[in-house]
Amino acid sequence: MFDQLSLNILDIGMNSLAAGATVVRITVIEDVPHDQLLIRIRDNGRGMDEKTLRDVLAKNASTKAGRKKPIGLGLALLRQTSEMCDGAFRIQSAPGKGTGVTASMRLSHVDRPPLGDLNATIFALCAVNQDADVQLHYRSGDQKFHFSSQEGKHNEPRRTQETQGKGAAAGCAA
């Protein structure tokens, strides 16, 4: 059991990276007026087929059943926390289409773990795979921001390509 939701997020984010994702988008919304906390982890990894999906949702899913697939207790733990805190848990996945995990909770629920150190989670994911784009979309009341670990990098190659394209057309080396 995790004492911080940011550890659940790290756990599932690690699954995403293990599934070969190049983009992991983490969304955290604290909606105080509606007393809701929403956590979503969406990736573009290899995804899971229906059977695997059924397996990971089964409460006794085990890592031993299929070590090569991202099966384990991680999803079951988040689901349990979410359901315990009057929330809902949903997972969508298809081979080649990536995986999306959404967990909601009642923000004020007495059993709801704190978010904890979300920064450390993002840091760890960035450190594990620095080629992947780890994104955090965070909103809480008036505070709102988007973070992308590839922010600078994404723009650069695009700009380089344009420059090269124009350069080639003009017949000069970029």
Partner 1 sequence: MNLDELKKLKEKAQRQVALREGNKKYRVVFSMGTSGIAAGAREIMTAMLDEIDKRGIENVEVAVTGEIGLVDAEPVIRIEDRSGEKVTYANVNADAARKIVAEHLQKGKVVDGLAVGKTKEAERTK
Q: Using CB under 8 A, list all residues that contact partner 1.
A: 1-2, 7, 10-11, 14, 18, 63, 67, 72-74, 77, 117-124, 126-128, 130, 136, 138, 145, 147, 149
* C-alpha 37, offset from chain centre: 15
Closest to partner 1 by CB, 30 vs 83, is: 30
Count of other CB atoms within 10 angstroms of residue 68:
6
Q: To the nearest whole angstrom, how small is the minimum distance from the Cβ of residue 7 to partner 1?
A: 5
Count of other CB atoms within 10 angstroms of residue 133:
18
Closest to partner 1 by CB, 69 vs 86, is: 69
- Strand ranges inside the chain, DSSP E: 23-31, 36-43, 89-94, 98-106, 133-140, 143-148
Q: To the nearest whole angstrom, how small is the minimum distance from the Cβ of residue 171 to partner 1?
A: 35
Q: To the nearest whole angstrom, how small is the minimum distance from the Cβ of residue 143 to partner 1?
A: 8
Here the tokens at position 76 are 């079951």
**Residues 147 and 135 sit within 8 Å (Cβ to Cβ):** yes
Closest to partner 1 by CB, 45 vs 72, is: 72
Helix (H, G, I), strand (E, B) or coil at 151: helix
Q: To the nearest whole angstrom, how small is the minimum distance from the Cβ of residue 122 to partner 1?
A: 6
Closest to partner 1 by CB, 2 vs 86, is: 2
